[in-house]
Chain A
Amino acid sequence: DQQVKQNSPSLSVQEGRISILNCDYTNSMFDYFLWYKKYPAEGPTFLISISSIKDKNEDGRFTVFLNKSAKHLSLHIVPSQPGDSAVYFCAAVFGNEKLTFGTGTRLTIIP
């Protein structure tokens, strides 16, 4: 059973516009959420995170929003840049360090 879901396998966005990546989860025990970015032939790299006690966390062009009642989080990238083209994974965790990842969304920024 997939506890963390990314229902959009791919997304294309024009350079300079906003990219919005979505993630849904089913386990209400999750208390910390992370986004990772992955380029081809490289391992995922940590991007941004949010605790369940918050509903928003911002870091430069990246903002993560958490809606606990809907069990939904999203990553906003604005403005989108060509270097943002990558696969984005959301992940969730509770209690210990065991992350549960979604299947990823491939973001393509169109120049």
Chain B
Amino acid sequence: DAGVIQSPRHEVTEMGQEVTLRCKPISGHNSLFWYRQTMMRGLELLIYFNNNVPIDDSGMPEDRFSAKMPNASFSTLKIQPSEPRDSAVYFCASSPQRYEQYFGPGTRLTVT
């Protein structure tokens, strides 16, 4: 298996622009997680899905952030409009209904 796939790996955008991050989980995994990593706060859970249904989005910072999982093999995290403080590494992870989560390589987002 190729593991969790994320795209793009790097994204540089200007403040105010829309950003869409993409994730393909490991086939057969029931749960999908979006995290944000910053120096100050470490790894923060933004939202997670179980069987394509959002279960907990309490970590989503504000209404500018939204996530979807239209099917078992694809999820998006969208930021609109983006701000410089959104600059971070965003990770997607999937889990086969156990605690061990498998992470993608991350997307490094820079908002100027």
- B42 near A104 (CB under 8 angstroms)? yes
Q: Which 8 A-B pairs have the closest CB atoms?
A: A43-B103, A103-B42, A101-B43, A46-B100, A44-B103, A43-B104, A43-B105, A43-B91
**Does A14 reach chain B (CB closer than 8 Å)?**
no
> Which listed residue, A41, A43, A100, A101, touches B4 by the CB 8 Å rule?
A43
**Does A62 reach chain B (CB closer than 8 Å)?**
no
Interface centre among A36, A43, A96, A102 (most CB of B within 10 A): A43
| Residues of chain B whose beta carbon lies under 8 Å from any beta carbon of chain A | 4, 31, 33, 35, 41-45, 48, 50, 55-56, 91, 93, 95, 97-106
> Which listed residue, A46, A100, A104, touches B101 by the CB 8 Å rule?
A46
Residues of chain B lying within 8 A (CB to CB) of residue A59: none
Query: Whole-angstrom distance between the alpha carbons of A32 and B48 in the complex?
Result: 18
In the complex, which residues 72-111 of chain A have their Cβ closer than 8 Å to any Cβ of chain B? 89, 93, 96-104
Query: Whole-angstrom distance between the alpha carbons of A49 and B101 in the complex?
Result: 12
Residues of chain A lying within 8 A (CB to CB) of residue B43: 44, 89, 101, 104
Query: Whole-angstrom distance between the alpha carbons of A98 and B31 in the complex?
Result: 10
Query: Whole-angstrom distance between the alpha carbons of A100 and B101 in the complex?
Result: 12
16 additional contacts (CB under 8 A) given A89-B42, A101-B43, A104-B42: A34-B99, A41-B105, A41-B106, A43-B104, A43-B106, A45-B103, A46-B100, A93-B99, A97-B33, A97-B50, A97-B98, A97-B101, A99-B101, A100-B45, A103-B41, A104-B43
| Residues of chain A whose beta carbon lies under 8 Å from any beta carbon of chain B | 32, 34, 36, 41-46, 49, 89, 93, 96-104
Contacts A98-B56, A104-B42 given: A43-B93 contact, CB under 8 Å? yes
Residues of chain B lying within 8 A (CB to CB) of residue A49: 99-100
Query: Whole-angstrom distance between the alpha carbons of A98 and B95 in the complex?
Result: 11
- B105 near A101 (CB under 8 angstroms)? no
